[in-house]
């Protein structure tokens, strides 16, 4: 017996077992804390999405985009809670949102809370904000040894609704805005934007001669092959909705049978106000334009004519416009464009300040303004389906008053082209009132 008591065989194993007890406990407690972290990350993602969704809904009230659909059937807090529900977080008994993934009942001791509120200031800065707070309370298990009988996991997000201080005069709807050669763009009060998500959504090819003085925004990135042109470009911004999408839908659906007098007679373009007709083929463009002109064929302006007036030029059914040579074109958009009765009063109201519309199908060539043209365009050039390229030595100047907006599939500035929008005011009628929504917390 005495020898047995003095025996030390197995003592190390016994000591190891004793030491492992607190170690295993700490590991288990760490595992429980890890589950809290996972829950918090999920809650934060749901809060981010809820705040953003609520802010998008408030943006509809602040300044809905002309011609775009903005669903206002539910309140901002409903939209926020709906998105939270789609991420599995709901208030108790409030789970019946479209797309909800919330369980109808929770485990014993588990509860969740979703709060969505509108704020008029955040961190001392006045504005329009939506704050979403999501929390989950659950029992503490091993954490009870630390005095935590319950654990509350919370996440908060804040989204801001704001207007771009300088909405764009140049907007690329799909592909990048590109500068190549020695173009000069002066548009300090309204700027340039691209909805492209590409890394070169605003791209500068080459360095010598490119002069751009315009606030620039892009959904994607900015690329440059030299210099520092990308320094002033705001990248990864919210896309800007097409403010004339309803016009594009209506004019794309336009048919020649909608015109009471059919095709205009003669070889010279006739306005709708004069003949209630459309121009077919490649008519001669008169030196003095007045009214709303509809074209189904291609129109090419070349040589060195001088064309002036107050007019709106609409190309539908596959017609398109090309400007080459060295013409002088000075046009101001019609304030109240005329057209067939199938165009609603809402569409015609959106056509105010529309100077040129071209629904040519997408092609790499697109709409080209090249040569040595000297232009004064006061209004909006809208080419939603194909790129617009300014090349050669074409010059677009805007003597006061005058403001020129380009909305196109893509916009390319090449050669020695010049675009001068320095006379545009910050509240120019042609530009969209652009709302941006971004997370600030």
Confirm whether 428 is domain-assigned.
yes
Instruction: Provide the pairing of β-strand 111-122 with 125-139.
Output: antiparallel
Domain stop point among 116, 135, 163: 163
- For residues 124 and 418, the model is more confident at 124
Q: State whether 114 and 175 are in the same domain.
A: no
19-68: per-residue pLDDT in tens? 444 544 444 445 555 677 788 888 898 899 999 888 888 877 765 444 44
State which residues form the domain around 411.
170-434
Enter the tokens of residue 167: 């909405």
- For residues 7 and 138, the model is more confident at 138
- Cβ 289 vs Cβ 331: under 8 Å: yes
Establish how many alpha carbons lie within 13 A of residue 402's alpha carbon, considering only the half-sphere containing its beta carbon: 19
Enter the tokens of residue 139: 């029992």
> 246 Cβ partners below 8 Å, 6+ apart?
66, 67, 68, 346, 347, 350
| pLDDT for residue 274 is more than 80 | yes
Number of domains forming the structure of the chain: 2
Give me the pLDDT at residue 254, please.
93
Confirm whether 409 is domain-assigned.
yes
- For residues 2 and 36, the model is more confident at 36
- Cβ 88 vs Cβ 38: under 8 Å: no
Name the β-bridge partners of 295.
279, 315
91-134: per-residue pLDDT in tens? 988 888 999 998 888 888 788 889 999 998 999 888 889 999 99
Domain stop point among 136, 163, 190: 163
Give me the pLDDT at residue 42, please.
87
| pLDDT for residue 430 is more than 50 | no
Confirm whether 1 is domain-assigned.
no
> Is-above-0.85 flag for pTM?
no
pLDDT band for position 365 (50/70/90)?
low
Q: State whether 130 and 209 are in the same domain.
A: no
Q: State whether 67 and 114 are in the same domain.
A: yes
- Cβ 195 vs Cβ 213: under 8 Å: no
Q: State whether 194 and 107 are in the same domain.
A: no
Cα dist from 179 to 42, 171, 172, 200, 283, whole Å: 43, 14, 13, 11, 33
Name the range with the highest mean pLDDT among 70-79, 168-177, 357-366.
168-177
Give me the pLDDT at residue 331, please.
84
Q: State whether 111 and 237 are in the same domain.
A: no
Q: State whether 288 and 362 are in the same domain.
A: yes
Confirm whether 4 is domain-assigned.
no
Q: State whether 131 and 234 are in the same domain.
A: no
Give me the pLDDT at residue 29, please.
46
- Cβ 304 vs Cβ 326: under 8 Å: yes
> Distance (Å, rounded) from C-alpha 439 to C-alpha 179?
31
Domain stop point among 163, 188, 208: 163
Confirm whether 201 is domain-assigned.
yes
Q: State whether 333 and 400 are in the same domain.
A: yes
pLDDT band for position 180 (50/70/90)?
confident
20-31: per-residue pLDDT in tens? 445 444 444 455
Please state the rounded mean pLDDT for residues 334-359.
90
Q: State whether 282 and 398 are in the same domain.
A: yes
Q: State whether 396 and 267 are in the same domain.
A: yes
Where are the extended beta strands (E) located within 123-221? 125-139, 150-163, 170-172, 177-180, 184-186, 192-194, 202-205, 211-213, 216-218
Confirm whether 371 is domain-assigned.
yes
Give me the chain's average pLDDT, please: 79
**What is the torsion angle, in degrees rounded to the nearest 10, for the CA atoms of residue 264, residue 406, residue 172 and residue 223?**
140
Residue among 213, 199, 202, 203 nearest 166 (CA)? 213
Q: State whether 257 and 150 are in the same domain.
A: no
Q: State whether 300 and 383 are in the same domain.
A: yes
- For residues 239 and 406, the model is more confident at 406
pLDDT band for position 260 (50/70/90)?
very high
Confirm whether 211 is domain-assigned.
yes
Give me the pLDDT at residue 371, please.
61
| pLDDT for residue 137 is more than 60 | yes
Confirm whether 440 is domain-assigned.
no
Give me the pLDDT at residue 20, please.
43
Name the β-bridge partners of 419.
185, 396
**CA 350 remoteness from chain centre:** 19
State the distance between the two ends of the chain, measured CA to CA, in whole angstroms. Answer: 72
Name the β-bridge partners of 126.
121
Give me the pLDDT at residue 115, please.
93
């Amino acid at each position: 017996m005495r020898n047995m008591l003095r025996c030390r065989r197995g003592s190390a194993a016994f000591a190891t077992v004793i030491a492992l007890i607190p170690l295993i406990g700490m590991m288990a407690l760490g595992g429980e804390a890890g589950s809290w972290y996972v829950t918090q990350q999920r809650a934060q993602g749901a809060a981010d999405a809820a705040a953003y969704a609520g802010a998008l809904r408030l943006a509809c009230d602040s300044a809905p985009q002309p011609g775009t659909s903005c669903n206002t059937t539910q309140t901002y807090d409903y939209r926020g809670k709906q998105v939270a529900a789609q991420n599995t977080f709901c208030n108790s008994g409030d789970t019946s949102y479209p797309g909800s993934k919330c369980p109808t009942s929770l485990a014993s001791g588990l509860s969740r809370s979703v709060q969505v509120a509108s704020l008029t200031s955040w961190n001392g800065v006045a504005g329009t904000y939506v704050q979403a707070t999501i929390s989950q309370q659950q029992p503490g298990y091993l954490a009870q040894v630390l005095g935590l009988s319950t654990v509350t996991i919370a996440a908060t997000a804040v989204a801001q609704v704001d207007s771009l201080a300088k909405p764009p005069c140049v907007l690329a709807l799909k592909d990048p805005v590109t500068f190549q050669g020695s173009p000069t763009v002066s548009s300090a009060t309204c700027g340039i934007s691209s909805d492209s998500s590409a890394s070169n959504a605003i791209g500068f090819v080459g360095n010598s001669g490119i002069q751009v003085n315009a606030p620039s925004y892009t959904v994607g990135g900015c690329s440059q092959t030299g210099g520092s042109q990308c320094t002033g470009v705001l990248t990864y911004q919210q896309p800007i909705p097409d403010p004339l999408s309803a016009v594009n839908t209506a004019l794309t659906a336009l048919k020649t049978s909608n015109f009471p007098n059919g095709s205009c007679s003669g070889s010279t373009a006739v306005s709708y106000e004069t003949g209630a007709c459309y121009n077919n083929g490649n008519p001669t463009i008169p030196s003095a334009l007045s009214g709303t002109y509809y074209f189904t064929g291609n129109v090419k302006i070349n040589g060195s004519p001088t064309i002036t007036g107050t007019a709106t030029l609409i190309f539908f059914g596959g017609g398109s416009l090309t400007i080459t040579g060295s013409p002088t074109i000075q046009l101001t958009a019609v304030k109240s464009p005329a057209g067939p009765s199938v165009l609603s009063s809402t569409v015609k109201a959106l056509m105010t300040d529309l100077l040129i519309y071209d629904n040519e199908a997408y092609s790499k060539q697109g709409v080209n303004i090249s040569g040595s043209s000297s232009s004064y365009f006061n209004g909006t050039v809208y080419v939603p389906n194909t790129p617009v390229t300014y090349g050669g030595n074409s010059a677009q100047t805007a003597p006061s008053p005058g403001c020129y907006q380009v909305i196109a599939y893509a916009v390319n500035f090449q050669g020695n082209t010049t675009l001068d929008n320095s006379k545009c005011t910050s509240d120019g009628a042609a530009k969209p009132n652009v709302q941006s929504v971004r997370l600030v917390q």
